[in-house]
Amino acid sequence: MPLMDYTELIDFLDNKKFGRIIEKLPQDFLTAFNHGDFDGWVSALQELPDISPTSWDLQEGVRIGEAGQCNDGQREQLKRALLKLQPWRKGPFDMFGLDMDTEWRSDWKWDRLKDHISPLENRNVLDIGCGNGYHCWRMAGAGARFVLGVDSHLLFTMQYWAIRHFLKEPPVFVVPLALEDLPAELNSFDSVFSMGVLYHRRSPFGHLYGLKDCLRHGGELILETLVIEGRKGMTLVPQGRYARMPNVWFLPSCDTLHEWLKKVGFSNIRLVDVTKTSVEEQRTTAWMNFESLPEALGKDSPGITIESYPAPMRAIFVAEKP
């Protein structure tokens, strides 16, 4: 499959109810998104060994191929190429016996939500802020008919193409776009995921309305975001950084977020999980060798951030579009 060739995606979208997305796709991705260390990322993809997996598993994790399908030299070549695409934040991945221990144990998040959502079998799914597409592959493993992931960070799309180099069959696509780039009032997807995005948006209501517009009537929203403890109406607006992150705008209490979803027009709103983020779930690894959550927490008080805010806690809501 040629680098960043979205012909298959366009063919799938054409004449479908969400075909208007085609209008938002650049005619030439290589020209439109040539920024950052683009040449280095392209070089890394070109260095990937040509191995076709005889098996894969997207249900218990993301495993592509088996250790016996490549020799030590090929595995080392694979590792060198993939490391050039650092930082790998979402995962983990098992690539022909190569354990890609990413910054996030994204499989833990998937385990927390998978039994609380509508079965994804034969559903058309949209994942907003999908990163490298780890959860998109898990959605395909859960039986989704079609998964579209959007993330404005080009590096993450390049990481997706590194995975797609070996895993060509499931209908999973990641494009370097944002929610705001999609056509208005799509009203098309059966399930829409937004995980780890809301608190990065300056307008939380704008984000929630955008998610709602992507769903068909009766479709399901899965929303995961940072929250704080507190009563209805409480929201933390960090001054400066939060947990070393510069672009965190709103951290509502769970009761507040419930009211936000209700105000936007969602129904059957359920809070299905609240979990404090641990340093085992988010940390520095060989595949993401920058500072991570441990460096963002107080050394003597891990229950607060280094800015003296409550330590990260994440909630998962499930709701429906009437």
Evaluate if residue 2 carries a pLDDT over 60. no
The topology under which CATH files domain 7-320 is: Rossmann fold (3.40.50)
Task: Write the CB contacts of 177 (distance below 8 Å, at least 6 apart in sequence).
Answer: 24, 25, 150, 151, 152
Whether the CB-CB separation of 56 and 167 falls below 8 Å is answered with: yes
pLDDT tens-digit series, residues 159-175:
999 999 999 888 999 99
Whether the CB-CB separation of 205 and 223 falls below 8 Å is answered with: no
Nearest residue to 162 (alpha-carbon basis) of 62, 14, 33: 62
Domain boundaries, the chain: 7-320
pLDDT tens-digit series, residues 218-273:
999 999 999 999 999 999 999 999 999 999 999 999 999 999 999 999 999 999 99
pLDDT tens-digit series, residues 16-60:
788 889 888 876 666 667 777 888 999 999 999 999 999 999 999
pLDDT of residue 1: 44
Nearest residue to 113 (alpha-carbon basis) of 193, 209, 202, 216: 193
pTM recorded for the entire structure: 0.96
User: What are the Cα distances from residue 286, in Å, to 49, 88, 99, 164, 182?
Assistant: 21, 9, 10, 22, 35
Whether the CB-CB separation of 66 and 98 falls below 8 Å is answered with: no
Token representation of residue 113: 């939500």
pLDDT tens-digit series, residues 175-188:
999 999 999 999 99
Question: Rounded distance, CA 82 to CA 56, Å?
Answer: 19
